[in-house]
């Protein structure tokens, strides 16, 4: 090795020591002083339509709202924040917690659930479970969704949380997490007439959105018109027919669910869902004067929505690119979109003209953690920014140490 190469080697080692601060009291990496923080922004579909609530649809219910599910855009609202008794619409939150437990691996659809004496004692709408009767989780989901079984709801609450009281505590926590500010639950099925059990049309739409977008498998159950279950008890075996309480399944071509409710206090309610032209709408009707009106006015909302809405979707399955990384054991990191993008137009805009623009950091300072925001995809309609989706790192890169720099220096030396 000649003198020139020896000098180059010592120079490379010295540079590595200075950059990493190894062996130097109070040493600071030069790259650490240049970190850039990107403010996370995801405005996709969160804004409320400026025309929401302006139309006079002649509704007679006390409260109503129409929401597009993928964006959360409110298309129409009528007294949407009044606190009202929800009756069996309560069970939408019960179903969210059931599917949460399935998703988290805490229970399965095949699990066996034993009916307690307390669950059997539930009045109102029920599927007549007997004390000690065993049904699968999936069967009880059908009983809740299709027949609005109060006994089935309590059986599932006890199975998941140990008691209905604890389950209701979790319902209220979940509601709080979803931003349902006008809601408080006292039971898991809506049978209570307590004034402390209430929600609003807006909050019902919020929890309905959570259920159908996070757990679209709910449609496998909410679209069942009639189905039999089998009771196996000490009295023998018998068939029991479930009939869907949501008559919109037969009255409205594009209906997909979701849940009805009625008591003397709540009057007649429905959180109805429909899909047409790949647009999922949620129509909430609360305190309608009779059971036919709630369905008729839900259809009125659907017709209004589909006549005035167009949905733009960007399925972000491409790779947005890579970003250079300073001071890392690797020099660049791959990236991906945090999700897809949807934009709902209610003003007749030409949504086909929406363009996507990628804005990313040119360089990051190590360490980089998986999921760090490194840029965003911005969507423009002309000069108007209509929304964005975060671009995040698709892996992690640790900060390089002395050994990594030594290795790089040696590799450079022998090139």
Q: What gap in Å lies between CA 335 and CA 321, rounded to an integer?
A: 6
Q: What is the mean pLDDT of residues 5-23?
A: 42
Q: Give the bridge partners for 237, in sequence order.
A: 232
Q: What gap in Å lies between CA 145 and CA 224, rounded to an integer?
A: 9
Would residue 303 count as lying in a domain?
Answer: yes
Would residue 93 count as lying in a domain?
Answer: yes
- C-beta separation of 286 from 83 below 8 A: no
Domain boundary pick from 308, 341, 368: 308
Same-domain status, 299 and 335: no
Same-domain status, 199 and 295: yes
Tens digits of residue pLDDT in 165-189: 999 999 999 999 999 999 999 999 9
Same-domain status, 303 and 320: no
Query: In CATH, what number is assigned to the domain containing residue 208?
Result: 3.40.710.10
Distances in Å between the Cα of 254 and the Cα atoms of 280, 296, 306, 307, 378 are 10, 14, 11, 14, 32
Catalytic residues: 88, 91, 148
pLDDT value, residue 410: 55
Residues whose CB is less than 8 angstroms from the CB of residue 318 and which lie 6 or more positions away in sequence, other chains included: none
Task: Say whether pLDDT at 198 is over 90.
Answer: yes
Question: Which pLDDT band, with edges at 50, 70 and 90, does 331 fall under?
Answer: confident
Same-domain status, 345 and 263: no
Q: Where are the alpha helices (DSSP H) in 228-381?
A: 248-251, 291-308
Domain boundary pick from 287, 308, 329: 308
Would residue 363 count as lying in a domain?
Answer: yes
Q: What percentage of the chain reaches a pLDDT higher than 90?
A: 77
Domain boundary pick from 262, 288, 308: 308
Query: In CATH, what number is assigned to the domain containing residue 365?
Result: 2.60.410.10
Q: What is the mean pLDDT of residues 294-319?
A: 95
Q: What is the helix (H) or strand (E) element at residue 274, kind and residue range? A: strand 267-276
pLDDT value, residue 25: 32
Query: What's the whole-number average pLDDT of the chain?
Result: 87
Q: What is the helix (H) or strand (E) element at residue 257, kind and residue range? A: strand 255-263
Of 242, 289, 254, 249, the closest CA to residue 269 belongs to 289
Its domain, for residue 159, covers 63-308
Would residue 56 count as lying in a domain?
Answer: no
Number of domains in the chain: 2
Same-domain status, 107 and 252: yes
Task: Say whether pLDDT at 36 is over 70.
Answer: no
Task: Say whether pLDDT at 400 is over 90.
Answer: no
């Amino acid at each position: 090795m000649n003198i020139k190469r020896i000098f180059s080697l010592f120079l490379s080692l010295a540079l590595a020591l200075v950059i990493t601060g190894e062996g130097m009291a109070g040493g600071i990496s030069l790259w650490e002083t240049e970190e850039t923080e990107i403010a996370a922004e995801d405005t996709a579909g969160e804004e409320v339509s400026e025309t929401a609530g302006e139309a006079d649809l002649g509704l007679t219910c006390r409260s109503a709202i129409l929401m597009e599910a993928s964006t959360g855009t409110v298309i129409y609202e009528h007294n949407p924040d009044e606190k009202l008794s929800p009756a069996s619409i309560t069970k939408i939150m019960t179903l969210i917690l059931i599917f949460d437990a399935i998703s988290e691996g805490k229970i399965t659809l095949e699990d066996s659930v034993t009916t307690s004496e307390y669950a059997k004692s539930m009045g109102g709408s029920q599927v007549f479970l007997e004390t000690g009767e065993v049904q699968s989780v999936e069967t009880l989901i059908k009983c809740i969704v299709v027949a609005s079984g109060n006994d089935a709801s309590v059986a599932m609450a006890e199975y998941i949380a140990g008691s209905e009281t604890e389950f209701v505590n979790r319902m209220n926590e979940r509601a709080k997490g979803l931003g349902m500010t006008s809601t408080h639950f006292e039971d898991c099925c809506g049978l209570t007439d307590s004034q402390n059990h209430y929600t609003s049309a807006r909050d019902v739409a919020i929890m309905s959105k959570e259920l159908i977008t996070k757990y679209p498998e709910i449609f496998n159950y909410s679209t069942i018109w009639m189905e039999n279950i089998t009771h196996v008890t000490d009295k023998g075996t018998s068939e029991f027919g479930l009939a869907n309480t949501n008559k919109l399944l037969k009255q409205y071509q594009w209906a997909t669910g979701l849940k009805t409710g009625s008591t003397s206090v709540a009057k007649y309610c429905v959180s109805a869902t429909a899909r047409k032209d790949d647009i999922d709408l949620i129509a909430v009707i609360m305190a309608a004067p009779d059971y036919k009106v709630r369905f008729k006015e839900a259809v009125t909302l659907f017709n209004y929505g589909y006549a005035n809405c167009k949905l733009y979707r960007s399925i972000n399955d491409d790779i947005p690119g890579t970003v250079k990384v300073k001071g890392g054991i690797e020099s660049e990191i791959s990236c991906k979109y945090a999700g897809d993008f949807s934009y709902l137009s209610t003003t007749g805009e030409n949504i086909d003209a929406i363009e996507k623009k990628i804005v990313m950091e040119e360089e990051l300072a190590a360490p980089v953690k998986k999921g760090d925001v490194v840029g965003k995809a911005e969507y423009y309609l002309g000069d108007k920014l209509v929304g964005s989706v975060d671009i995040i790192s698709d892996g992690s890169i640790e900060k390089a140490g002395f050994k990594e720099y030594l290795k790089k220096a040696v590799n450079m030396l022998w090139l």
